[in-house]
Amino acid sequence: MTSEANPSPKRVVDSAKVWSTLITNDKYLSGLLTLDYSLKASGSKYPLVALYTDTFPAEGHAALDARSIPKKRIPYLLPKTPKDFTNDPRFYDCWSKLTPFSLVEYDRVVQLDSDMLCLQNMDELMEIELDAPELEGKGKRVFAASHACVCNPLKKPHYPADWTPENCAFTSQHGDPETAQREGAKSSAGLGMPNGGLQVVNPSQATYDLIAEALNSDITDSYEFSDQSLLGDLFNGRWVGIPYIYNALKTLRWKNVHSEIWRDDKVKNIHYILSPKPWDESREDKAKEGREETFQWWWDVHEKRLAKEKAEGIVDGF
C-alpha cells in the first residue's frame, strides 16, 4: 500500500517554484550534483530540491549538505499490487517520481531525473500554463512533459510489441524539424505516453489523490513503465506535450532513431537514459569505440564543478 506522499508539507527553500529530483542511493549522486551545478550555471532563478528516501545513505546527505543543496524526505512509493520489473529494476524507484504532484507547499514543481544535464536556461518551464489545482486533475492540462520514445532502438525483447518507430510521437515530427524545436507533439500522438524524466506540475492534493487511487488498485500490474504508464493512462490526452529539447533522450540523437529532429544547439536539457551513465565510464574512455558522444558534454560540466568545489575545499569523491 502507498503511504501519504507528503506528510510534512513545508517548504525547504524560500521559493514558490522549484526544480526537484529523486535520489534513493549514491549511484546517481554525481549525476544529481552535476545537474544542480548545470542549473545554476544556466542562470536559473529557481533552486533544486533533492527528494530523498530512507534508503539514501549518510555520505549522500553529507555531500548534499556540503554543497547547500536543499533536501526533503519523502516516503518510498510502491503500488499495492507488486509489479515484477526484473528486466528493468530501475522502475521500482520510479513510482516515487509521482511525489511532486503532492508537494502542495509549492505553486510549481518541475521534476527532473538525476541523469540529466541542463545545457541552456529553461526557466520558462516554470511559466507554462497548466490547470489550476482547483480543477482537481479533471482539466485538459494536468501536467506537461515530453513524450516517451517508443522506438525501442536497442530491441529489448521484453518491451511491448507496439513499441515501434511507427507508433512514436517523435516520428510524427520528422517532416518539420524546425517546429519540433519549438512545439511538442500533441499528448495524444503515438502511444500517448509521457517520459517520466521531466514533469511540469502544479501540485494538487486532489490530483495526487487520483494517482494514489490508481496506486492502490490492481491496474498497476498492467503498467510496464511504472510512473509514466500510470500518468499516460490516468490523464490520457489531458497533458501538455512539450518539445524534445527539454527532455532530450540521448537515444534520439542516434542515426535511424530521431536524428532528423535533433539539433545539438537547440537542446536545453539532455537525459542520459539507460545504461551506462556518463559517470559509469572514466574521462579516459572517450576514445573507446562506440562511446556515447554526448557523454563528453557531461564530463566537461562535471569537471568544471569539481574544480569549483576543490577551490571551496569540497573533495569527497562525488
pLDDT at 88: 56
Strands (E) in the chain, as ranges, are 17-23, 48-52, 71-73, 108-112, 116-118, 143-145, 198-201, 240-241, 248-249, 269-271
pLDDT at 85: 56
266-285 residues labelled b (16+ CB within 10 A) or e (exposed): bbbbbbbbbeebbbebeeee
CATH number, domain at 109?
3.90.550.10
Q: Residue 284 domain-assigned?
A: yes
Q: Residue 197 domain-assigned?
A: yes
Instruction: Give the per-residue SS3 of 122-173.
Output: CHHHHCCCCCCHHHCCCCCCCEEECECCCCCCCCCCCCCCCCCHHHCCCHHH
Q: Residue 6 domain-assigned?
A: no
Q: Residue 317 domain-assigned?
A: no
Number of domains in the chain: 1
pLDDT at 287: 62
Q: Residue 126 domain-assigned?
A: yes
pLDDT at 56: 97
pLDDT at 1: 36
Q: Residue 9 domain-assigned?
A: no
Q: What's the rounded Cα separation, in Å, for the pair 64 and 54?
A: 15
Tens of each residue's pLDDT in the chain, 318 residues: 344 789 989 999 999 999 999 999 999 999 999 999 999 999 999 999 999 999 999 999 999 999 999 999 999 888 887 767 556 556 557 888 999 999 999 999 999 999 999 999 999 999 999 999 999 999 999 999 999 999 999 999 999 999 999 999 999 999 999 999 999 999 999 999 999 999 999 999 999 999 999 998 888 888 878 899 999 999 999 999 999 999 999 999 999 999 999 999 999 999 999 999 999 988 777 666 667 999 999 999 999 999 999 999 999 999
pLDDT at 2: 40
Confirm if 50 and 18 have CB atoms less than 8 A apart.
no
Q: Residue 261 domain-assigned?
A: yes
Enclosing domain of residue 277:
17-311
Judged by DSSP in three states, 270 sits in strand
Q: Residue 144 domain-assigned?
A: yes
The pTM (predicted TM-score) of the whole model is 0.95
